[in-house]
Amino acid sequence: MPVSRTNVEVMQLYDYENRIFYDVCVECLSHFLGSVGLTFGNKLRKGVSQVNEEVAVEQINVPVKLNSMEEVMKAISAQRDLSQADLSDLSLAGMKFAGLKMTGTKLTGADLTGSLFAGADAAGAEFTGADLTGSKFAGVNLAQVLLDKVKLVGAKLVGVNLNKATLAEADMTGAGVIGASLEEANLQRVDLTGGKLSGTSLRAANLTEANLSGSVFKRVDVTDADFTNVTTTGARAKQVNWSQAKVPPAELPEPLPDAPSWLPAVIIGVVVGFIVISILKKKKGKCC
């Protein structure tokens, strides 16, 4: 006899399935942008900006100071607009900020570990001292944000606009930056140990005294960037024209070797092989 579900159970199941689908989409987006670089990152940011301009939302007053995650969720449900709201020092670990307007939002000292920001406009927001360890940003406008002394350990930033942002003394150990724009950004004394930048623009960025040890730069535009007194121990780079930098690193990162021409064919062969084996196993299971 079929089991009937209450309305609450159905809505919980629906919300859970939507969250799983959304996370999978963001992960796929990250891998896709990593393969195509900065061009699609720029297109993504333009598309998000157009959507934010076209969507009309009924105006509801949001309190300037929010005191708990419950209040934040209530404000998001009411309007999806957290502009100028004060969320400083709140515990918001694992929270999802998708398609929100967050211009000028204050998140100073907040716990945002494992959080997700997707398709949000957070221009001018303040994250100073916040913990963003393991967080993910996809298609987010972070122009002129304050990210001084934040923890972005292991964070993923895909297709984000960080032009003129301030990330002085930020801990970006092991972070991945893909298809992003950090033009004229302040990255003084940032720790990018083991970080990976791909298809990213650092035009006129200030990386004075940054730690780039063990980092990897691929297809990065460093035109007019300042790398005065940076540490590049164990760093590697590919398709980066250091001569265009305002001040190139005193010790240039080692060049990354080109992948063997046969490698793509081998990868495709392995993938096809797994698919064929999987299909054969399913057929054999049905026969038996």
pLDDT in tens, 205-258: 999 999 999 999 999 999 999 999 999 999 999 999 999 999 999 999 999 887
- The 10s digit of each residue's pLDDT in 15-30 is 544 444 444 454 445 4
pTM above 0.85, yes or no: no
So what's the pLDDT on residue 274? Answer: 80
Per-residue b or e along 221-235, where b marks 16 or more CB atoms closer than 10 Å to that residue's CB: bbeebbbbebbbeeb
Q: Which domains are delineated in the chain?
A: 1-181 (2.160.20)
Residues 98, 102, 107, 108, Cα dihedral to 10°:
140
User: 283: Cβ–Cβ under 8 A, 6 or more apart, which residues?
Assistant: none
Q: Is 79 exposed, middle or buried (0-12, 13-18, 19+ CB in 10 A)?
A: middle
Distance, CA of 22 to CA of 34 (rounded, Å): 19
Q: What is the pLDDT of residue 261?
A: 67
With b for 16 or more beta-carbon neighbours within 10 A and e for fewer, the 39-53 pattern comes to ebbbebbeebeeebe
Q: Provide mean pLDDT across the span 142-150.
A: 97
122 vs 144: CA distance, rounded Å: 9
Whether residue 38 has pLDDT greater than 90: no
Cα 231 from chain centroid (whole Å)? 24
CA 231 – CA 54 distance, rounded (Å): 45
Q: Tens of pLDDT along 103-124?
A: 999 999 999 999 999 999 999 9
The CA distance from 261 to 265, in Å, is 8
Whether 164 has a pLDDT exceeding 70, the answer reads: yes
How confident is the model over 160-185, as a mean pLDDT? 98
What value does the mean pLDDT of the chain take? 83
